[in-house]
Structure 1
Amino acid sequence: MNARKVSEHIIKWLKEYALNAKVNGFVVGISGGIDSAVTSTLCAKTGLTTLCVELPIHQAKTQVNRANEHIAQLRKQFKNVSEVDVNLTTTFENFKTVVPKELPSEKLDLALANTRARLRMTTLYYFAGLHGLLVAGTGNKIEDFGVGFFTKYGDGGVDISPIADLVKSEVYALGEYLEVPKSIQKAQPTDGLFGDSRTDEDQIGASYDELEWAMEMQQKGKTLNDFKGREQEVYKIYIRLNTINQHKMIPIPICEIPETLK
């Protein structure tokens, strides 16, 4: 991949889209991870207003530190970048007090993790509406169209997706070219939604490199019987997640009413 040309292409696309939409710029949730770092840097390079929002909910200090380091770097480089920190921990805890908890603990943990993502989405759209900005998504191709590793109407609730046609390794290549902080480039990917140290790989059961391979194999029409050992295990993980998460990747089903019934 030609990182310079891809970067220039995305920056041009972002700027043209925003100008055509007659908005002032972008708002990006900053997590301390590579995807949000690359997305916010590309937005900043458009020269349009770029609001970086930190949205901690019981966030690990290492994640907060990486997010702060990145935002500080952006603000030093770009006059069009501003920041706001909205700690949603109290909001999240208040939410937990008013909903029933009869679910099994595993389902409850996942429901609350997705709630964190949806609280963040709501906050980003608050600022988007306040300042006339577009919410820029930070999902990559593997997450958005491979295994559906995002929260519906959470981090999946965005206006535009600048890096959704790039697999994770390509996002890392862009991050290196854009000189995002080394601490972010080296950090293990995590969604930070469970309040512990689990990584994306811990949750999925496969690394992003393995998932990229599996996506390529699916596109080539391969089946489980074409593989053995770890390759078969990874491909099984990928196909299972790709199948059960199709509801995130396709348009919302609409019940079309026949004209004869109207």
Structure 2
Amino acid sequence: MQTEKVIDHIVDWLKDYATKANQKGFVIGVSGGIDSAVTSTLCAKTGLDLLCLEMPIHQALNQSDRASSHIDWLQGNFPNVYRQQVNLTPVFDSLVASFPIVKNEEERFMSLANTRARLRMTSLYYFAALKRYLVAGTGNKVEDFGIGFYTKYGDGGVDISPIADLYKTEVYEIAKKMGINEEIIKAAPTDGLWGDDRTDEDQIGASYPELEWAMKMKDQGKNLDDFTGRDQEVFSIYIRYNSMNQHKMNPIPICYIPETLK
């Protein structure tokens, strides 16, 4: 990958899109992870306003610290970067308290994880509307178009997706080239929705390099029977996620009414 040229291309694309949309800049949720670090830096490089939101919800301290350090770094390098902390923990707790208790605790836990992402999306759009900013998404190619590893109308609710055509490994290449904090680069990827230290790999059962490989194999028309051992296991994981999350990756189904019935 021609990393420097890719960086310049994305920055130019971001600036051009915002200018044509008559928007003043961008707002992004900074989590302390690699994707939000890279996306926020790309947005900052446009010279347009960038508002970085910290939105903790019972957040692990190491994630909050990495996010804060990254914003410090951005502000030290770009005069167009602003920050705002929105503590969503009491909002989340109040919302949870208003919901009825359900018997299946595991399903409830998953639902509440997605609720965290949707509260953050609501906060991002509050500031976007207030300041005429675009909500910048942080999803990469595998997450957005491979396994659908994001929350529908949560972190999937964005205006633009600057890094959605980049594999995770390519995101890391760009991070190193732009001088992103080494602590962020070395941190295990996590969606930060659980209030503990579980990683994306813990949840999915495969690493991003493995998933990238599986995505490429599927694009080449390969089938499960073409592999054995760990390769077959990873390919199976990819196919399962890709299949069950099509509802996220495809347009919302519309019931079209026949003209004869109108």
Deviations 1:42-74 (A, max 9, x none): 000000000000010000110011001100000
Does 57-66 or 96-105 show the bigger shift?
A: 96-105
Deviations 1:88-114 (A, max 9, x none): 000000001111121411100100000
Counterparts of 2:123 and 2:101, CA distance in 1: 25
2:123 maps to 123
1:55 maps to 55
Where 2:193 maps in the other structure, the secondary structure is coil
2:31 maps to 31
Counterparts of 1:32 and 1:101, CA distance in 2: 32
State whether structure 2 residue 98 is matched by structure 1 residue 98.
yes
* TM-superposed deviation, 1:245: 0.1
Where 1:216 maps in the other structure, the secondary structure is helix
Where 2:26 maps in the other structure, the secondary structure is strand
* TM-superposed deviation, 1:167: 0.5
1:21 maps to 21
State whether structure 2 residue 59 is matched by structure 1 residue 46.
no
Aligned length, in residue pairs: 262
Counterpart residue type for residue 252 of structure 1: I
State whether structure 2 residue 63 is matched by structure 1 residue 79.
no
1:196 maps to 196
Where 1:134 maps in the other structure, the secondary structure is strand
Stretches of structure 2 that go unaligned for 5 or more consecutive residues are none
Counterpart residue type for residue 35 of structure 2: D
Where 1:222 maps in the other structure, the secondary structure is coil
1:231 maps to 231
Counterparts of 2:194 and 2:161, CA distance in 1: 24
State whether structure 2 residue 143 is matched by structure 1 residue 143.
yes
1:258 maps to 258
* TM-superposed deviation, 1:219: 0.4
2:210 maps to 210
Deviations 1:105-152 (A, max 9, x none): 110010000000000000000000010000000000000000000000
Identity rate of aligned residues, in percent? 64
2:69 maps to 69
* TM-superposed deviation, 1:2: 1.1
1:181 maps to 181
Structure 1's 153 and 103: CA in aligned 2 closer, same or farther, altered over 3 A?
A: farther
What CA RMSD, in Å, does the superposition of the two structures yield over aligned residues?
0.5
Counterparts of 2:102 and 2:186, CA distance in 1: 40
Counterparts of 1:203 and 1:126, CA distance in 2: 30
Counterparts of 1:118 and 1:170, CA distance in 2: 27
Please, what TM-score do these two structures have when normalized by structure 1? 0.99
Counterparts of 1:218 and 1:74, CA distance in 2: 38
Counterpart residue type for residue 36 of structure 2: S
Where 1:158 maps in the other structure, the secondary structure is coil
Stretches of structure 1 that go unaligned for 5 or more consecutive residues are none
Please, what TM-score do these two structures have when normalized by structure 2? 0.99
